[in-house]
Amino acid sequence: MKNPSKYATEREIASDILLQTSAIATPLLSTFSAWLMAGLGAAFTLLVANIDSIVKYVLAHNFRWALLWFAASLLTGLAARFLSVVVSASLTSNAVFSERLPKAIQAAPSFSLPAFKHFYFSGLFLPYKCVANKTFAKVQRGDLMASHRLTAKASQLQAILVLLQIVCSTASILVLASGVKV
C-alpha cells in the first residue's frame, strides 16, 4: 500500500479484529487440546497397562498403529500448546507496546529507538530475536500491522495443529476399533 496513513482507521480496526480473534480462540483451543491429550492419554494408559487382556480382543498390528497415531496426536497437541504460550505472550506484548511506547516517545524528548531495540533484543534468545528483528524492520518500513498479523497467523497455525490433533486422535481410535477380533 503506497500511503498507509490514508487508511489508518481501517488498519486499526483490522488490527483489533485480528488480535481479539486470537485472544478469544487461543485459550479455547489450548484447553480443548489439553483435554484431548489427557483423555486419550488416560485411555491408552489403561490399554497399555492391560495389554495382556487387550491382545486377546484386538490385533497386535492395529494396536501398534493406534499407538503411533496416538503419538502423532500427542506431538501435534504439544506443538499447539506451545503456540498457545507464544500467542498469549505476543498478545500481552502487543498490548504493552500499544500502551507504553507512544507515551514514552512523547514524554522523552530524545527517545532513542536504537537504544530501545538494543535493550529489548538483549532479553531475547536467538530464534525470537530474529523474528522480532524482522518485525521491527517491517514496522520501520511502515508496515504497522506486522506484529498483529504474526500473532494472528500463529493463532491460526495453532487451530490447524489442534485440527490435526483431532484427526490423529480419531485415526488412533478407528485403527484400534478396526482391529477388534470378531
Is residue 4 assigned to a domain?
Answer: no
Structural domain including 157 reads 9-178
Specify the length of the chain in residues.
182
pLDDT tens by residue, 54-78:
889 999 999 999 999 999 999 999 9
Is residue 31 assigned to a domain?
Answer: yes
pLDDT tens by residue, 96-154:
888 887 887 788 778 787 888 889 889 989 888 999 899 888 888 888 888 899 999 99
User: How many distinct structural domains can be found in the chain?
Assistant: 1
Is residue 99 assigned to a domain?
Answer: yes
Is residue 106 assigned to a domain?
Answer: yes
Is residue 93 assigned to a domain?
Answer: yes
Is residue 111 assigned to a domain?
Answer: yes
| Residue whose C-alpha is closest to residue 159's, from 77, 102, 39 | 77
Task: Assess contact for 69 and 175: CB atoms under 8 A.
Answer: yes
The phi, psi pair for 180, rounded to 5°, reads -65, 130
Rounded to an integer, what distance in angstroms lies between the CA atom of residue 27 and that of residue 33? Answer: 10
Q: What is the pLDDT of residue 4?
A: 61
**What is the pTM assigned to this prediction?**
0.85
Is residue 1 assigned to a domain?
Answer: no
